[in-house]
Structure 1
């Protein structure tokens, strides 16, 4: 019996269809071959609740999504999202309950801050893998406290510096810094998890959404601090577009895995909202496409990946990714190396990684891609 352990990890998930399992029909076979599968939930799974005033775009999905996730192969779900409290406390608790009832471990969110911070530790084939999750995209009061439900905060501050002081109205330089208390708590969490597990994987809901390539300063600071504290892998979410990949001290940082399984139609009322019009300016290519009726995202958001980790003898031996495409039915499909779109995904990731001076170049081995 081999002690090799396969972990798959994917990006944002928010099915909104009568048969949520159909969203995974092209990938469930692969995911069910993994020993541990991780994903980020972007929707509240409840039929209760009313939108909170600070919820900019409410993401609600049917409770049966939890069962569909389990059937698709998922085992660990992060609910540390800027949508986790969109519909209030009751709907938030409903989501935790329905995920747990389906046999899924939830990280990054809880009935109080202690529960939200607790790692999910999975022991398989003699290896213990710990998962932690944090959120930097935080509407007011979405983060947990001693006696308040919510997600685990990893807040950041933004400073706008006027570069040309004698030129009013010219573009500014943007600096971001991690919240020191949140970062100290994250480091402590990772160190404690490392005492309990062989491998520690950290999920971060963070970053600049929809804008190609750009990585905020605080993301690098947090990622490097997490690895210095003992994290073995960083998985980024929220940006709804792929971001670059960095190798820091031998550990891989995926700054954004993009979307994985999201249904989002483009009704006229959404397109004409002032809030959406402002967000759409971030990506000039973001326009309704009749060929993608349930995937209202910029074209670059159709490129995504599945992370594959191979753990041998209690060590993370190999990290690769599988280029994947979102089809016209909003479904992820893993690409073969012979498919021209495979190279398009790889070239895109290499380009945005170089744009941000991350120092990574990639090579394909079969249908998988690794750092050279």
Structure 2
């Protein structure tokens, strides 16, 4: 019988404030990833055409878990043609990431990527197909488009993890399509030990940090009621809900023993992103669950993007304090505590 290694929740190898659980599954989750875009031209690529320095200082933290998750905010392609409607291509927010940059995500330890967002279709089907092929070649699971609505991954030779992702955008699995959401969650819940759901929803920026418990509209688009969505998928059998899209951190909540992280913010978003104020810092959330997905504990590792676009651990711990503040305001009744060192513990 397989016995999992102890779950060590810590920010780094020198952190003595650890929580140890045995026979657990560990997940590390981050928000938006966009390593640089060659569109409209190469000035939006990192120095020396090398994305490795952008997140290399976080590799040790990212690679420790059984599964590491992120939101891939844009396709990998060297040649696809823009299909997003733009009045002025020189100022249009469309992302086409060089294909070779995907190797950095493999090196960092990513296992699961959501491709359900408003940029994966910027360069049409060809770029999505190229992205899928590259991620397959790197053994990185992904989900969230009409072509790839879900994936299943076996970890530790015995635990089957189902992963699906939803967004309000064309070409993605629509979070507003209740029947489709129900179908996918039911399929995965019936066949997997743990079900992880990713959702790209909610308004964007500093004005959209709180959970309103109602539908959110941004530039006329219905970005969904992420509170109702998250609760509904857990009611159906999901075990972890990971949110992104607002480009800022949002609260975490414990619901029926399952963790919801409503927005993981901007993790590694080189150029073309507003990183002022709360947009510039984010959590890396380490999560420990049982083999059937019940939350045991976790830790927020606070990070920020410096002036060179590199992701670093944040000595000011802004993501810890912001997420705790939002949690206490939006979910005062929730059953977890966030400590000053980032540990997430269950109330007793």
TM range (shorter): 0.7 to 0.9
| Shift of residue 317, structure 1, vs aligned partner | 4.2
CA distance in 1, matches of 2:277, 2:182: 36
Name whichever of 66-75 and 311-320 sits farther off. 311-320
Q: How does 1:77-96 map to 2 (within 5 A)?
A: 77-96=113-132
Task: Verify: 1:298 aligned to 2:276, yes or no.
Answer: yes
Residues 219 and 313 of structure 1, relative CA distance in 2, 3 Å threshold: closer
**Unaligned ranges ≥5, structure 2:** 5-23, 37-45, 87-91, 215-224
4+ residue stretches of structure 1 with deviation over 6 A?
none
In the alignment, structure 1 residue 104 sits paired with structure 2 residue 140: yes
Give the CA deviation at 1:332.
Answer: 2.5
* 1:197 counterpart = 2:199: no
| Structure 2 residue 307 is the aligned partner of structure 1 residue 311 | no
Counterpart Cα distance in 2 of 1:315 and 1:355:
26
Aligned partner of 1:118 among 143, 150, 155:
150
2:161 is equivalent to residue 129 of structure 1: yes
What do residues 151-189 of structure 1 show as CA deviations (whole Å, max 9, x unaligned)?
A: 21113xxxxxxxxxxxxxxxxxxxxxxxxxx12221221
User: Which whole-Å CA distance do the structure 2 matches of 1:356 and 1:100 have between them?
Assistant: 39
Structure 1's unaligned 5+ residue stretches are 144-150, 156-181, 266-294
Q: 1:2 to 1:53 in 2, by over 3 A?
A: closer
Once the two structures are superposed, what CA deviation does each residue of 1:105-164 show, in whole Å capped at 9, x if it has no partner? 12112xxx3x4223333332422211111112x2xxx32xxxxxxx21113xxxxxxxxx
CA contact (8 A) 2:75 2:97 kept: yes
Deviates more, 1:230-239 or 1:90-99: 90-99
The structure having more radius of gyration, on CA atoms, is 1
Give the root-mean-square deviation of aligned CA atoms: 2.2
Is residue 214 of structure 1 aligned with residue 235 of structure 2? no
Q: Is 1:257 matched with 2:276?
A: no
Instruction: Tell me the equivalent position of 1:244.
Output: 251
Residue 5 of structure 1 deviates from its aligned partner by 2.6
Q: CA deviation at 1:320?
A: 1.9
Report the TM-score when normalising by structure 1: 0.74
Instruction: Work out the CA distance in 2 between the residues paired with 1:330 and 1:324.
Output: 16
Aligned to 1:2: 3
Aligned residue number for residue 238 of structure 2: 231
Aligned residue pairs, count: 297
Q: 2:56 aligns with which of 10, 15, 25?
A: 25
**Aligned: 1:368 with 2:308:** no
Alpha-carbon distance in 2 for matches of 1:10, 1:321: 12
Counterparts of 2:137 and 2:209, CA distance in 1: 38
SS at match of 1:26: helix
Equivalent in 302, 306, 312 of residue 333 of structure 1: 312
Secondary structure of 2:195's aligned partner: strand
Instruction: Answer whether contact 1:133 1:203 (CA < 8 A) is retained.
Output: yes
> How far off its partner does 1:90 sit?
1.3
Equivalent positions of 1:63-82 (< 5 A) are 63-82=99-118
Deviation at 1:350, TM superposition (A): 2.2
Query: Is it true that 1:347 corresponds to 2:325 in the alignment?
Result: no
What is the Cα deviation at residue 316 of structure 1?
Answer: 3.2
- What is the SS of the residue equivalent to 1:253? strand
| SS in structure 1 of the partner of residue 130 of structure 2 | helix
Query: Displacement of 1:53 after TM fit?
Result: 4.2
